């Protein structure tokens, strides 16, 4: 099978609106959480989130195109544009008939959907829907838009698995290339669910942190006093490419993807398996797919949402898979800084993992104040301070509602 490398990166996040700023924010422990500005949150249980800062769509789109795209779709497109630009793919060095796009979201145009429904409900009952109502809502449109923008005519679709959506997109892209169905694929995802329906819905599930008195420290993965996740927004995209093709055109290579693991918990629609069984299978399958021994893993960017059940289940899974070697792995949760980007989280955290390999730095898990007595104290979560480390193999985990799990295994690129 073909070897697959990463030749382009793009991100728009609560701590940086491009990959350079995002990475700088990660290694310096920048916090992206603050009071919600997108809507009046006064009647909601949670008053804070991790919003993208200083975003002006007119820096990326003309006014007509802004009207066509929900915010999640804009984030998808912006991240993809940066990834394609950084990859230096052109019609001169690449046959665009062989370039695919797998870009997605977990929820999609929920903000636009909510606004349209509320406007209709408060009106005279006559439906006056925008002609962009459906295209702004459905999840596959960003993949189509990127295809149209660049003329990419390879496989084109979206994957949907809640918070694992964009990890599944990268996994699908990996298979397309290694099985010789594309020479390159733009893959990733985004989310923009910080709206009345998003915050209200997750509040109803008791999933969000209620730390309104101190929102900056609300996302505290693996801490004893974690009380739920913090909603984030933004997205990320990567360009995956056949190694031979990348070398032939002289592309910059950030890392190699060498294995993918996927599983289902078969347990509960929202709660993780308490023994982390599905998460264990996902990581084990990534190791098997890559032909890598568990003792070779140096770093895991955990799903680490800051929920009491989720964090503990992932720790149980890591210890089951890696045994004593788990204590030699640099673990972290970048959600402590970005919040949880839902369908965009897998791609954004894959980028964090790729950059950790590329730069030899493990970003921190910030907001750690007190050890959880239920978590092995000898595990290394890179609490509160980034750490330099020579990394060879790293895993990025993403787990979605419905018990849908992905583990992406990356390698520092060597010939």
Residues 146 and 172 reside in one and the same domain: yes
pLDDT band at 128 (very low <50, low <70, confident <90, very high): confident
- Answer yes or no: do 113 and 34 share one domain: yes
- Cα(197)–Cα(201) distance, integer angstroms: 6
Same domain, 361 and 267: yes
Q: What is the mean pLDDT of residues 78-97?
A: 98
Whether 374 is in a domain gets the answer: yes
Q: Domain count for the chain, please give it.
A: 2
Catalytic residue among 69, 112, 168, 303: 303
Q: Which helix (H) or strand (E) covers residue 216, if one does?
A: none
Instruction: Kindly state the average pLDDT of the residues 58-84.
Output: 97
Average pLDDT over residues 140-167: 98
Interval 326-374: pLDDT, tens = 999 999 999 999 999 999 999 999 999 999 999 999 999 999 999 999 9
Q: Are residues 94 and 29 in the same domain?
A: yes
Q: Which residues contact 226 (CB under 8 A, 6 or more apart)?
A: 209, 220, 306, 307, 308, 311, 372
Q: Do 241 and 266 belong to one domain?
A: no
User: Which listed residue (69, 168, 245, 340) is catalytic?
Assistant: 340
Residue 279 domain-assigned? yes
Q: Average pLDDT over the chain, rounded to whole?
A: 97
Nearest in space to 141 (alpha carbons), one of 232, 90, 65:
65
In the listed set 216, 248, 280, which residue is the last one of a domain according to the structure? 248
Q: How confident is the model at residue 127 (pLDDT cuts 50, 70, 90)?
A: confident
Contact 257/6 with Cβ under 8 angstroms?
A: yes
Going by pLDDT thresholds of 50, 70 and 90, the confidence category of residue 124 is confident
pLDDT, average across residues 70-75: 97
Residue 92 within any structural domain of the chain: yes
Beta-bridge mates of residue 16: 13
pLDDT digits (tens, 9 = 90+) for 388-413: 999 999 999 999 999 999 999 999 99
Provide the pLDDT confidence category of residue 230 given band limits of 50, 70 and 90: very high
Q: Are residues 169 and 276 in the same domain?
A: no
pLDDT digits (tens, 9 = 90+) for 24-37: 999 999 999 999 99
Tell whether 301 is covered by a domain: yes
Residue 93 lies in a domain: yes
* Whether residue 303 lies in the annotated active site: yes
Shared domain check, 176 and 134: yes
Percent of the chain with pLDDT over 90: 96
The residue-averaged pLDDT of 285-314 equals 98
**Does the structure show a pLDDT above 90 at 129?**
no
Taking residues 149-154, report their average pLDDT: 98
Report pLDDT for 415: 84
Same domain, 226 and 268: no
Distance (Å, rounded) from C-alpha 150 to C-alpha 393? 33
* Res 401: pLDDT: 95
Residues 181 and 32 in one domain: yes
pLDDT tens digits, one per residue of 249-258: 999 999 999 9
The catalytic position among 163, 195, 237, 299 is 163
> Considering only CA atoms, which of 396, 394, 397, 368 is closest in space to residue 382?
368
- In order of 161, 308, 364, the CA distances from 17 in angstroms are 25, 30, 19
pTM of the complete model beyond 0.75: yes
Does one domain contain both 338 and 270?
A: yes
- Amino acid 70: pLDDT: 96
Answer yes or no: is 412 within a domain: no
Is the pLDDT at 123 greater than 90? The verdict is no
Please state, in angstroms and rounded to a whole number, the distance separating the CA atoms of residues 24 and 1: 35
Record the tokens describing residue 142, joined without a space.
């960003």
> How confident is the model over 1-27, as pLDDT tens digits?
899 999 999 999 999 999 999 999 999
Query: Is 340 labeled as catalytic in the residue annotation?
Result: yes
Whole-number Å distance between alpha carbons of 4 and 285? 18
- Domain final residue, candidates 187, 220, 248: 248
DSSP string, 1-58: ---EEEEEEEEEBTTBSSHHHHHHHHHTT----EE--SS--TTSS--EEBPPPS--GG
Place of tokens 């990959």: 19
Is 195 an active-site residue? Answer: no
Give the residue from 211, 229, 248 where a domain finishes: 248
Res. 125: pLDDT tops 90:
no
CATH number where 304 lies: 3.40.47.10
Q: How confident is the model at residue 120 (pLDDT cuts 50, 70, 90)?
A: confident
Transcribe 81-113 into DSSP letters: HHHHHHHT--TTTS-GGGEEEEEE-SS-SHHHH
**Contact of 317 with 279, CB cutoff 8 Å:** yes
CB neighbour burial string for 64-77, b if at least 16 within 10 angstroms, e if fewer: eeeebbbbbbbbbb
Q: What distance in Å separates the CA atoms of residue 411 and residue 415, rounded to the nearest whole number? A: 11
Rounded Cα distance, 342 and 35, in Å: 19
Reduced to 3 states (helix: H, G, I; strand: E, B; else coil), residue 197 is helix
Q: Is residue 99 located within the same domain as residue 239?
A: yes
Contact 35, 103 (CB under 8 A): no
| Domain of residue 331, residue span | 259-405
Residue 201 lies in a domain: yes
Q: What is the pLDDT of residue 126?
A: 86
Residue 260: pLDDT band (50, 70, 90) is: very high
Answer whether residue 118 is part of any domain. yes
List, in sequence order, every residue forming a beta bridge with 397; answer none if it has no partner.
407
Residue 241 burial by Cβ neighbours in a 10 Å radius (0-12, 13-18, 19+) = buried
**pLDDT of res. 194:** 98
Same domain, 50 and 148: yes
């Amino acid at each position: 099978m073909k070897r697959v490398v990463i030749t382009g990166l793009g991100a728009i996040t609560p701590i940086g609106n491009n990959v350079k700023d995002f990475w700088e924010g990660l290694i310096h422990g920048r916090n992206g959480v603050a009071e919600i500005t997108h809507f009046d949150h006064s009647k909601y249980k949670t008053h804070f989130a991790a919003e993208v800062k200083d975003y002006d769509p007119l820096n990326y789109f003309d006014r007509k195109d802004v009207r066509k795209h929900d915010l999640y779709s804009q984030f998808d497109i912006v991240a993809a544009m940066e990834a394609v630009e950084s990859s230096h793919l052109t019609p001169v060095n690449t046959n665009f008939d062989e370039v695919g796009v797998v870009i997605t979201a977990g929820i999609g145009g929920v903000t636009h959907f909510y606004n349209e429904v509320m406007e209709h409900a408060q009106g005279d009952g006559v439906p006056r829907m925008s002609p962009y109502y459906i295209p702004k809502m459905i999840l596959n449109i960003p993949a189509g838009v990127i295809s149209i923008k660049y003329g990419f005519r390879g496989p084109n679709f979206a994957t949907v698995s809640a918070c694992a959506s964009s990890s599944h997109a990268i996994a699908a892209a990996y298979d397309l290339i290694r099985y010789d169905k594309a020479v390159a694929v733009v893959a990733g995802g985004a989310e923009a669910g910080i709206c009345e329906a998003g915050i209200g819905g997750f509040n109803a599930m008791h999933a969000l942190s209620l730390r309104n008195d101190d929102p900056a420290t609300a996302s505290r993965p693996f801490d004893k006093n974690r009380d739920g996740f913090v909603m984030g927004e933004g997205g990320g995209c990567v360009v995956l490419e056949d190694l031979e093709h990348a070398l032939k055109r002289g592309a910059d290579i950030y890392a190699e993807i060498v294995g993918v693991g996927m599983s289902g918990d078969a347990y509960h629609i929202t709660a993780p398996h308490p023994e982390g069984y599905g998460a264990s299978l996902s990581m084990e399958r990534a190791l098997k797919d890559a032909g890598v021994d568990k003792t070779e893993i140096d770093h895991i960017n955990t799903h680490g949402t800051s929920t009491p059940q989720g964090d503990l289940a992932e720790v149980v899974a890591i210890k089951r898979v890696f045994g004593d070697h788990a204590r030699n792995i640099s673990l972290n949760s970048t959600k402590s800084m970005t919040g949880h980007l839902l369908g965009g989280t897998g791609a954004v955290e894959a980028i964090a993992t790729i950059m950790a390999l590329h730069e030899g730095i493990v970003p921190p898990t910030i907001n750690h104040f007190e050890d959880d007595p239920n978590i092995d104290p000898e595990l290394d979560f890179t609490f509160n301070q980034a750490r330099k480390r020579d990394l060879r193999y790293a895993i990025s985990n993403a787990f979605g509602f419905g018990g849908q799990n992905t583990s992406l295994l990356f390698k520092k690129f060597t010939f």
